Structure 1
């Protein structure tokens, strides 16, 4: 195991101001922590033969911005974070390649557009599962990864590498409170508390709603992660999921009136 290389990767992330970074070894995909699990074709070692480790980074979605969702404000933040994720993982892969470890970045989405998802609602790699296996958090009822720092208000991307980097432990506790706010707040009923934990998000309904919002330039929806009470970011911004400050509601109403259709 290469502890020095891991320290160097973490230092690179620090220089790029990446707040979340963890590592999973590829063997974890072969020993599913829960069922149902993904087909082997979606394993990192199937996508990049010779892979030994997956480095997962996370960037936060600022809570006051997503509180306005769906809106042009969240839409623009989402695009900005996506661009940064692609740039940072490309740079990390290049950093490893320069040190003799064949590596590739995986784009943050891995699908062409929302219209594509309507016909085939699966990306070629799951950063959510990679984040789970790297110990960044646990799955919530809304089928997103909840982190202690930001709840589900995080976007992830990954680097697949042949380097054998020491893996981080899985997150030791379940962060989901089962409050069901995400279920009850979903505007298209894409979540079902009766199916949890074996059920999945109704991807078709979610994608159709995103396509509708996309035509208004206010996608993605973001409501299920907006209402989640988990995350230290709520303490940082003094935001309560239980009782919304009227000033925040006023801000949301203002932002939603402009910039979109």
Structure 2
């Protein structure tokens, strides 16, 4: 029955054109793949005690749009993807509730504004750790989750459910190339060369940079994910070289977009 239910969830995702789907049991939070790990209060079963499984979905951030960042173009794409993630996870939770399994969606960001992050730079749940435990990717030096398909250019949403669903295997291959392009490119100097979790993002520096971009209506930053060379999307868009490549047409397009829509 659990296999049939998981197949039905995956089919629902296919109909909603969701390209990445993974499942983790809540026990995986109690047996983390590395240390140090998050406090227990951030576990899904601490937030929704009925939770037995976590379904994680991922939607791509289109690389040519991201290459214009920081810009109004990427700003709008970011908002669109977040809205879709909230809608899709809500619909999946509703489907599972209709099947008789108590379930809830988790909002994509979980914080109110950049000003909130400046004072308390932690959301109440980490979708990237959930995606790791659902077998969708591995952490990079930029502290984001890298996927084979899109590198770090993907955003995740989660559903907590009382259904006991078969989990997906963790990704065995480490996808980060240690190229350090993200460290070198970060405008806030918020990244270091150590691997996650030893090398953590300077959240305060990152939040201050985001707050400045928000005042100019062109947040978020996106630099550390646009320069990452990992991901099949680079081949799809013909972007073999990070950050727009050497094609003057791409540079001209990026410069044009940045001139408008923000301050």
TM-score by length of structure 1 reads: 0.98
Please state if 1:258 is matched with 2:260. Answer: yes
Go from structure 1 to structure 2 and tell me whether the alpha carbon gap of 1:27 and 1:194 turns closer, same or farther (over 3 Å shift). Answer: closer
Counterpart in the other structure of 2:225: 225
**How much is the aligned-residue C-alpha RMSD, in angstroms?**
1.0
How many equivalent pairs are there?
A: 261
Deviation at 1:229, TM superposition (A): 0.2
* 1:234 matched residue in structure 2: 234
* Contact in 1 for aligned 2:140/2:195 (Cα 8 Å): no
| Rounded Cα–Cα distance in structure 1 between residues aligned with 2:13 and 2:235 | 25
Deviation at 1:50, TM superposition (A): 1.9
Give the deviation of 1:195 after TM superposition.
6.4
Deviation at 1:199, TM superposition (A): 1.8
| Aligned residue number for residue 193 of structure 2 | 193
Aligned to 1:40: 40
* C-alpha distance in structure 1 between counterparts of 2:79 and 2:50, whole Å: 32
* SS state at 2:32 partner: coil
Q: Report the Cα offset of residue 42 of structure 1.
A: 0.2
Give the whole-Å Cα distance in 1 for the aligned partners of 2:110 and 2:197: 25
Q: After the TM superposition, which residues 78-117 of structure 1 pair with which residues of structure 2 at under 5 Å, given as runs? A: 78-117=78-117
How has the CA–CA distance of structure 1 residues 237 and 142 changed in structure 2, closer, same or farther, with 3 Å as cutoff?
same
Shift of 1:35: 1.1
Distance in structure 2 (CA, Å) of the matches to 1:196 and 1:132: 12
Structure 1 residue ranges without an equivalent (≥5): none
Secondary structure in structure 2 of the residue aligned to 1:21: strand
SS at match of 1:192: coil
Q: For the Cα contact (< 8 Å) 1:228–1:241, is it kept in 2?
A: no
Q: Contact 2:35–2:197 at 8 Å: present in 1 too?
A: no
In 1, distance between residues paired with 2:106 and 2:31? 22
- Looking at structure 2, the residues matched to 51 and 164 of structure 1 have their Cα atoms a distance apart, in angstroms, of 9
Query: Partners in 1 of 2:46 and 2:196 — Cα distance?
Result: 29
- Any unmatched runs of 5+ in structure 2? none
Structure 1 residues 188 and 260 mapped into 2: Cα distance closer, same or farther (>3 Å)? same
Corresponding residue of 2:162: 162
Per-residue deviation, 1:246 = 1.6
2:160 aligns to what SS in structure 1? Answer: strand
Q: Kindly provide the CA deviation profile for residues 113-161 of structure 1, in whole angstroms up to 9, marking residues without a partner as x.
A: 1110000000000000000000000000000000000000001000000
Distance 1:241 1:90 in 2: 37
With over 3 angstroms needed to count, the CA separation of the structure-2 counterparts of 1:100 and 1:172, relative to structure 1, is same
User: CA–CA distance in 1 between the matches of 2:161 and 2:172?
Assistant: 25
Query: Where in structure 2 are the equivalents of 1:1-261 lying within 5 Å?
Result: 2-194=2-194, 197-241=197-241, 243-261=245-263
Structure 2: distance between partners of 1:40 and 1:197: 17
Say whether the 8 Å CA contact 2:143–2:196 is kept in structure 1. Answer: no
Give 1:172 shift.
1.3
Per the TM alignment, residue 182 of structure 1 is displaced from its structure 2 partner at its CA by 0.2
